[in-house]
Structure 1
Amino acid sequence: MAPSVVGVPIEATSASIPTSDNTPPPTPPPENISKDKRRQRLLCGIHRMSSSPSLSLSHVGRSRSYSAPYGSHTNLSCVSLGPGASFAPASSGSVTPGYFSSGHGSLSSTPGLELPSIKGIEVPLAPRKTANLSSTALAPTTSCLPADVTVSRPKSRASRKCLYDFWSAMPDEVRVQIFSHLKPKELVRASRVSREFHKFCFDGQLWTSFDASEFYNQIPAESLANIIASAGPFIKELNLRGCLQIEHYKRAEVLVTACRNLINASLEGCRNFQRSTLHNLIRSNNRLTNLNLASMTAVTNSTCKIISQHCPQLETLNVSWCKHMDARGIKMVVLGCPKLQDLRAGEISGFESIDVAKAIFKTNNLRRLVLSGCADLTDETLKTMIHGLQPEIDILTERPIVPPRKLRHLDLSRCSQLTDRGVKALGYLVPDLEGLQLNSCKELTDSGLELIIASTPHLTHLELEDLSELTNDILSKHLAKAPCVRKLEHLSVSYCENLGDAGMVPVIKNCVSLKSMDIDNTRAGDLVLTEAAAMVRSRATRTPVRGNFPRVGLRLVVFDCSSVTWTGIREVLSWNSEVRHASSSLPTYPTEIIGLRCYFGWQQTVEQHTQRVLRGDFASAARLERKWADYMQAVEEAGAAGAGIRRRRRRAREAQLLHASEEEGGAGGLGLGRRRARTMAASCTVM
């Protein structure tokens, strides 16, 4: 029995499918035999295609015949590829396994469709039963893939949910906190990214402090005025130190109009500021606490009067080098600002006035007083500032009975009229003093400093430069035994030509907290350097950790000291690079070294040695120190008179070459660099 092609609907022709299986098929004429063979081969190919697993049918009425040709008017269309398509058998024949899945669907075709009779088919196809066809399948529709072919594909990227926008969903407070880590210059650049960035970059919380001292010479005047105009209402700390570009009247008015909530303001060096503009700025900011007007030509006594009237909260005032004012303005500020604690009036004239001194004595709130360069300051004025006018004197001690001053820092440098009589007034009346500067007061002697040193237990900084009348007794007998000996950190006695080892050695032994010492142009010698190395060695701890790099704990300035030789310098270098090897433990390394400034001919070697020690290269530092010592010794031998002078000079030249090669190429630790430097030095010597 010829199989019927199920699942391939064939359009009907003029002939009808017979309703009975007993009707014999028509016999083709002889002339159509060759055509029937071609049709048979075509149908065999179609059968092979339809018998594949992907195109097999689940239910067929009869088995197909390889020799049953179809007519020439056959039209195949609408091949069903849908999963679960099922077909009802035309008769009670067997069901062929391995075809489309059974029972899950039906072929989409017209119900009750009968296949037409095809010319050349010997056995007619069985009529299709419509019992298993879907009632809704009225017409051929688009075919589907079978169940074993259809696989659920992942959704495309377009159908996915958009990524989470962290920046837009971030709270404004967090975004402002992110921008707060940028400097003003970086904020201005970031504001050009977008409008949203511009809004956040000029948020008031980011501009409470505006410091232009880092880029004052790079920012144009218009840009500076625009920034201040945008952020001015929020600025509380303003630093325009050195901004000379604010010279135009309108630009300065923008500053005055915008900034009305200033607490700290620094206009130091703004020489082109107009006087009226400065006065308006002070009037509009009555909450000013710190005001720096140093080197401003617009500052006058009228400015000081406005400050005393509109700045009751003022605590710090700097009017140093303001040449158009005098001490009368200082008096108005001191009386009008009861909270003033820091007054800096360097090189201001008129301090010979007793009324100004009485005003300073009356307040007794000053913690810092800077009167450096005030050439008019006399002994009587200074005594009035400390004792007052005609104080009561204690009979036993002969000291004035007045409340002690609250001064902690006092700078009287270059007050040339001061003598021992005026400086003695500080004795026992400044117990909280921590810093004292009396540089270039050339009339001072040991007797003027004895009472101050004996009554200041908190003294940490003492500067006595260019006091040629001082002797070693003030150091050995007073400073080395003073109450502040354990707290003294900085001592400067430069250009004190009468001071030498006898006075400095006891100070270095007892002042174990020293961090810096300026003794240049004195009579200090190698003994001072040796004692300094021993003091640092005794107070500094050592570490067995190689990677724990040392730091500079004491800075010594000893240039232009005729008694300092290379032997003392070598003592310091040897201590800096000392590595102690104990038999029962690991080697130990220094944690604190001495920074040295010495004769300029040796300074390059000292700096190279210090750099190697600071980066932990102790072996290279020790090698440099040894070769430098050999060179210095050979130079001294070459300068001696007598026989063998040529041989000593040759040894000196060889030592110089070795030292130069180590100093130039030893920093990188490469022998090639040292050889190259040695060759270059040798060639220069030959030439």
Structure 2
Amino acid sequence: MVDSTIAHSTPDSPASPASEAGSLDVQPGSDVVEQFPVLQHKIKGRQRLLRGLQRISSSQSLRARITRPRASSAPYRNSVSSLSCVSLTTTPSPFGQPSSGSSYFSYGDVSTAPTSVAATPAVETPGYDGIESVLAVRKVDHPVSTPMTISLPTEIKKKAKVFNFWETIPNELKIYILSFLSPKELVRASRVSKKFHELCFDGQLWIEFDASKFYREIPVGSLTKILETAGPFVHDLNLRGCLQIEYTQRAQRLVNACHNLYSTNLEGCRNFSRPTLHTLLKSNHQLIHLNLTGLAAVNNATCKIISRECPDLETLNLSGCKQMDARGIRFVIEGCPKLRDLRASSIRGFSGNTDLATAIFKTNNLERLILSNCSDITDAIFTTMILGPTPEFDLLTNRPLVPPRKLRHLDLTRCSRLSDTSIRSLAYITPNLEGLSLSNLTHLTDAALEPILASCPNLSHLDVEDLTHLSNSLFANHIAKSPCSTKLEHLSISGCENISDMGMLPVFQSCTNLNSVLMDNTRISNLTLTEAADMVRSRSRSLAHHASSSPLPEVTLNLTIYDTALVTWTGILEILSRNSEPLSAAKPGKDGVVEVGEGGNGKKGKEVIGLRCFHTWQMTVDEHTRRVLRGDLASARRVERKWAEYMQAELEVGVGGMDSRRRRRRAREMRDALEEDQGQQGQQQGQQGGQGQGQRRRGRTVGCAVM
């Protein structure tokens, strides 16, 4: 840029010292010389001025001492030029008087400064006060001004651009970050680079290997390769349902790689070979949990290996292993003193095996014993398991004098040869019993359960399904009045044909913590359903002072009442009305959606009854329950009203008479109204979720099901 402060001179004048100082490089005969002729000045004064400028620009302290503040008025107020494309260097010439009332701008390389000034040079004023604010430092090659900023070297700039945060953090943090990925995502990430491959297959990430979630999505070769790589670090191996593990060398390589297992689940691996299984057991002496459900490779020799190689075993599941019998269980009981959980469903060979029963009695470490479908267990064998081979009894109380058993869960489902004599032996000797399943023991009566209910205060799950000899007296006088009544949570009386309202009404009045009751194929009626609804209502009121963790209702009691001839639609309507009752205490919001209030309203809204009933009513009940759980008060109440009108119309149609045609037409209208309501509700849900048409079809299906 050509300096805009140069005064004019004649073209023939010699080059001024200013050009030598670097202010302007002018070639003879150029247009610049013609437009901007250079003036002659006194060399002595000019050199003195340049030296002063250089000293001022290089000394910050000097500039701070002689500088005075600028005027507050804008310096470009009188300018008529545009500021969008000009340079804002507006200082007058250092060789003449400062110009007043005009500003000098430069457009690129062409200056807009005046082309003519007075011929007489200005008076030199080396000691001019405030010269640093008037004279601007020109951008010339001579080091007159020093740069205020320094750019980074090129090498540092390149390093800053390629800075990689991942490479700077320690491996411990990398492993922690990768631990949030699933096994499938880890395998994909391992393909990024060699370093990622090493990190993704680090042993800390494969302590737990659960292939049951993704084994269908990868071939057996990839599954085997993963286990071969991470096998030495795996502690918890779950291959449940992995049918790819066949009689091949891959399975053998897989087993050879896993020798630090603490927990193994091979349930459903039907193609697992016996030598491979034995190799796995022999190479993992520290096993604690072992699940071999349904494996054809398991036999009595396998149980002997378990007893010899796995002394720390605590949980063993051998259910469904048809190639073994009760002798194999005896090997495990005698060789694994820490065993607490034994599941041996559908195992043969208990009949006459007194040695196994004696071994179970002597250990007294079992907390869970599952012997369902072991139909050859007799009264003598089971009594030996509980009381020992030669029990002693108290002469006054007739109670056994043996140490209490540690059993907490006992399942004897379908052990059809057991009777009251053996089941009664559990009384007063199993104080920690929490779960008892006696389903399909067709010979049991009230006498077998009465002492158990009186001596087991922690009983929370009781399954007496298909016990046809039980009476209402057991439920009304023993279950409802037993020490475990307030802790009972699950009760199954399905198939107990003698149980009616007389037995179940006291149960619902006393057992206020019930959350699951199965009453199908019984003689209960609508009174039992009404009592159940009242129990939930009372429970909601007692817990109303607690704050609600969820603003929407939740199912807290599940009732199963299908195939109960005495239950009618009015009993079902009572449950539906109870389900929508808590919502009435809350504040209805937009479109009938409930806004749960403060205090007890939120907790009361959580108490909802889930119902399994007659199949022609079930889909309407499900639709009503979905609306209640969603908090849609108006829609749920509308379903109740229209379903009640439809059921009443159906009853009128069955009466017959002269108005039968009108009643049938009214029933059709009620049916169409219910179908239309549910169809509109499904359409609204579909529009909210982007699936309007599909939701509407589902709503119509619900309406048709009511017919």
Q: Same fold (TM over 0.5)?
A: yes
The answer for the alignment partner of 1:440 in structure 2 is 440
Letter in 2 for 1:538: S
* C-alpha displacement of 1:570: 0.9
* C-alpha displacement of 1:591: 2.0
Contact 1:301 1:325 in 2 (8 A): yes
What are the equivalent positions in structure 2 for 1:6-405 lying under 5 Å apart? 6-7=15-16, 46-50=33-37, 59=42, 98=93, 144=140, 155=151, 160=157, 162-163=160-161, 164-352=163-351, 353-405=353-405
Q: 1:602 to 1:465 in 2, by over 3 A?
A: same
* C-alpha displacement of 1:255: 2.1
Contact 1:205 1:234 in 2 (8 A): yes
Distance, in Å, in 2 between the alignment partners of 1:166 and 1:43 is 58
The answer for the alignment partner of 2:422 in structure 1 is 422
Distance, in Å, in 1 between the alignment partners of 2:586 and 2:435 is 43
Distance, in Å, in 1 between the alignment partners of 2:340 and 2:228 is 32
The answer for the alignment partner of 1:33 in structure 2 is none
* C-alpha displacement of 1:212: 0.8
2:650 matched to 1:632? no
SS at match of 2:347: coil
Distance, in Å, in 2 between the alignment partners of 1:545 and 1:403 is 45
* C-alpha displacement of 1:643: 2.6
For this pair of structures, how many residues does the alignment match?
Answer: 577
Distance, in Å, in 2 between the alignment partners of 1:441 and 1:388 is 23
* C-alpha displacement of 1:214: 1.0
* C-alpha displacement of 1:520: 1.2
Distance, in Å, in 2 between the alignment partners of 1:680 and 1:573 is 20
2:577 matched to 1:577? no
SS at match of 2:577: helix
Distance, in Å, in 1 between the alignment partners of 2:216 and 2:686 is 46
Deviations 1:315-367 (A, max 9, x none): 01111110011001111110111100000000000112111101100100000
Distance, in Å, in 1 between the alignment partners of 2:41 and 2:277 is 102
Q: 1:207 to 1:646 in 2, by over 3 A?
A: same
2:518 matched to 1:509? no
2:465 matched to 1:465? yes
TM superposition score normalised by structure 2? 0.76
2:612 matched to 1:612? no
Distance, in Å, in 1 between the alignment partners of 2:607 and 2:144 is 81
Distance, in Å, in 1 between the alignment partners of 2:520 and 2:529 is 12
Deviations 1:445-498 (A, max 9, x none): 111111111111000011111112212122111111111000000001111111
Deviations 1:73-108 (A, max 9, x none): xxxxxxxxxx979xxxxxxxxxxx92589xxxxxxx
SS at match of 1:481: coil
Q: 1:527 to 1:148 in 2, by over 3 A?
A: farther
Distance, in Å, in 1 between the alignment partners of 2:94 and 2:263 is 92
The answer for the alignment partner of 1:34 in structure 2 is none
Deviations 1:127-180 (A, max 9, x none): xxxxxxxxxxxxxxxx94588999767748956351542110111111100111
* C-alpha displacement of 1:671: 13
SS at match of 1:213: helix
Letter in 2 for 1:6: A
Deviations 1:635-677 (A, max 9, x none): 1112212231111111111111111112222256589999x99
Distance, in Å, in 1 between the alignment partners of 2:674 and 2:422 is 55
Once superposed, what is the RMSD of the aligned Cα atoms?
3.4
Contact 1:57 1:99 in 2 (8 A): no
The answer for the alignment partner of 2:498 in structure 1 is 498
Contact 1:340 1:365 in 2 (8 A): yes
Deviations 1:22-51 (A, max 9, x none): xxxxxxxxxxxxxxxxxxx97896243245
2:610 matched to 1:595? yes
Q: 1:58 to 1:318 in 2, by over 3 A?
A: farther
Contact 1:460 1:490 in 2 (8 A): yes
Contact 1:468 1:496 in 2 (8 A): yes
TM superposition score normalised by structure 1? 0.78
SS at match of 2:316: strand
Contact 1:4 1:61 in 2 (8 A): no
Letter in 2 for 1:630: E
Letter in 2 for 1:571: E
Q: Which sections of structure 2, spanning at least 5 residues, go unmatched?
A: 1-8, 20-27, 46-52, 56-91, 97-138, 588-596
Letter in 2 for 1:191: S
SS at match of 2:383: helix
Deviations 1:510-567 (A, max 9, x none): 1000011111121121111111110011111459999811111101111111111111
Contact 1:292 1:317 in 2 (8 A): yes
Distance, in Å, in 2 between the alignment partners of 1:546 and 1:305 is 51
Deviations 1:106-126 (A, max 9, x none): xxxxxxxxxxxxxxxxxxxxx
Letter in 1 for 2:313: L
The answer for the alignment partner of 1:68 in structure 2 is none
Contact 1:84 1:146 in 2 (8 A): no
* C-alpha displacement of 1:278: 1.1
Distance, in Å, in 2 between the alignment partners of 1:247 and 1:183 is 25
Distance, in Å, in 2 between the alignment partners of 1:454 and 1:222 is 58
Contact 1:304 1:332 in 2 (8 A): yes
The answer for the alignment partner of 1:477 in structure 2 is 477
The structure richer in helix per residue is 2
SS at match of 1:217: helix
Deviations 1:579-614 (A, max 9, x none): 44599x989462211111111111111111111111
Contact 2:413 2:438 in 1 (8 A): yes
Deviations 1:203-235 (A, max 9, x none): 000111111111233321111111111111111
2:673 matched to 1:664? no
Q: 1:182 to 1:7 in 2, by over 3 A?
A: same
Contact 2:675 2:699 in 1 (8 A): no
Deviations 1:407-460 (A, max 9, x none): 000000011111111111111111100000111111111111111111110000
SS at match of 1:425: helix
SS at match of 2:557: strand
Larger Rg: 1
Contact 1:542 1:591 in 2 (8 A): no
SS at match of 1:248: coil
Distance, in Å, in 1 between the alignment partners of 2:44 and 2:586 is 106
Q: 1:61 to 1:171 in 2, by over 3 A?
A: closer
Distance, in Å, in 1 between the alignment partners of 2:678 and 2:550 is 23
Q: Decide which moves more: 324-333 or 586-595.
A: 586-595
* C-alpha displacement of 1:6: 2.0
The answer for the alignment partner of 1:551 in structure 2 is 554
Contact 1:84 1:100 in 2 (8 A): no
* C-alpha displacement of 1:625: 1.1
* C-alpha displacement of 1:383: 0.4
Q: 1:547 to 1:252 in 2, by over 3 A?
A: closer
Distance, in Å, in 2 between the alignment partners of 1:599 and 1:222 is 50
Deviations 1:235-265 (A, max 9, x none): 1111111112111331121122111111111
Distance, in Å, in 2 between the alignment partners of 1:188 and 1:604 is 44
Letter in 2 for 1:562: A
Deviations 1:1-23 (A, max 9, x none): 9562424999xxxxxxxxxxxxx
Contact 1:247 1:273 in 2 (8 A): yes
